[in-house]
Amino acid sequence: MEQFETVTTSAEQTRKLGRLLGELLAPPALLFLTGDLGAGKTCFVQGLARGLQVPEDEPVTSPTFTLMNQYRGRAPLYHFDLYRLGGLDDLLDLGFEEYLYGDGVTVVEWAERATGLEDDALCLHFSQIDDASRRVSFRCRDGLCGSLLSQLADQWRERGLE
């Protein structure tokens, strides 16, 4: 298992972490995000979208009620939020499986609602430390992410954000 963990001390810093990952990602990619309400998942995806060159003036918001938003960057970005998922049938209706192994970047908030797929994804867990601080943990199985997590760790340190 490859892992990287850091603490962000503002929403802006979480966006920067997302942007850095977005810059480093080589699509296709599948990202599973877990963590409580308000832990910073959507905030991270906002940065991720910028790192994937989704135009700055395009708002990136939570697809809580629509279940999925789609953005056009240097690769297609599919942003799922499964918080309000009724059941696995809803996932089939959405054609979820096609996005899992497609050619773009698929990022899934509340990914624990669709269990059993963790081995194929880069998994991120967000937890609240206090009002302004969040712990963000990345893990993927050996070989899945190549050198992505070590690059992320190195560049995050180089930018002095850790």
Ligand X SMILES: Nc1ncnc2c1ncn2[C@@H]1O[C@H](COP(=O)(O)OP(=O)(O)OP(=O)(O)O)[C@@H](O)[C@H]1O
Q: Are 75 and 27 in contact (CB under 8 A)?
A: yes
Task: Report in angstroms how near the CB of residue 28 gets to ligand X at its nearest.
Answer: 23
Beta bridge partners of 108: 32, 80
Residue 94 or 144 with smaller CB distance to ligand X: 94
H or E, element range at 14: helix 11-24
Phi-psi region of 143 (alpha: psi -120 to 50; beta: other; left: phi over 0): left
Contacts to ligand X by CB under 6 A = 8-11, 13-14, 35, 37-43, 62, 83, 109, 126, 132-134
Question: How many residues are given for the chain?
Answer: 162
- Select from ligand X, Mg ion, none the partner in contact with residue 34, using the beta carbon and a kind-dependent cut-off of 5 to 8 Å: none
Task: Give min distance, CB of 99 to ligand X, in A.
Answer: 19
Residue 155 interacts, among Mg ion, ligand X, none and using kind-specific CB cut-offs from 5 to 8 Å, with none
Q: How far is the CB of 35 from ligand X (least distance, A)?
A: 6
Q: Which is nearer to Mg ion, 42 or 106 (CB)?
A: 42
Of 12 and 103, CB closest to ligand X: 12
Torsion of CA 64, 15, 124, 28, to 10 degrees: 80
Q: What is the binding site for Mg ion (CB under 5 A)?
A: 41-42, 62, 109
Provide φ and ψ at 119, rounded to 5°.
-65, -20
